[in-house]
Structure 1
Amino acid sequence: MLGSLWPIDSKVNRFLLDQFVRNMGKSMVIMWIRTNCVNPTVTMTQMGVYAWSDPAKSGPVLNRIPLGKFAEVEDVVNAVLFLLSDKAAYINGATLPVEGGLLVA
């Protein structure tokens, strides 16, 4: 996870984060607090644009994303706003991937 002295595979990080969110979902629900997580792919922040502007680097990754583009900040914000809204009132302990279909490709 963040701040680790040793690099941990991203799949391990995702698994640990998923388990943490599920456990928090169980623990916090007694206080009527829902716990969810948004898990985006590459997001085109200033750092994302800098890191992924080279087509030689971004091309192979973009080819694997069915929507054919990286996430924009608004894509992630909209997912968070949905989870905070009353429309997501029955969602708890979930991790929402915001990745343009990458996980199913």
Structure 2
Amino acid sequence: MKDKKSKKALRAQYEERTITGGVYVIRNTQSGQILLESTTDLTGSRNRFDFARKTGAGVNLKLQRDWSHLGGDQFEFEVLETLDKSETQTGEAFAEDLEVLEEFWQEKLKDAYFY
């Protein structure tokens, strides 16, 4: 009985959590080249980057050649802007808002050296 209540409580906490997306860059510190991305799960994207740095596995294909040549320690993850999903917003609408935010940053960084 107690396990059932704790599972319900955990599920409720999970469903009530704030979902944070955002726009980020992965920067090659040697060349200055950047990969600009948006995501509905900023924490997950950061965790994937950290995992790739530690293991060399799961590297974004656009970065693969430089990553293999230079090593993961020559790349950094930088959050440019965050956006919290509202309670009434659909996942699709949230993703669309993030795409618009990414386009804004693409324009703002138009002189950058992109992957």
Both proteins in one fold, TM over 0.5: no
How high is the TM-score relative to the length of structure 2? 0.23
| Rg (Cα) greater in structure | 2
How high is the TM-score relative to the length of structure 1? 0.25
The structure carrying a bigger strand percent of its residues is 2
The structure carrying a bigger helix percent of its residues is 1
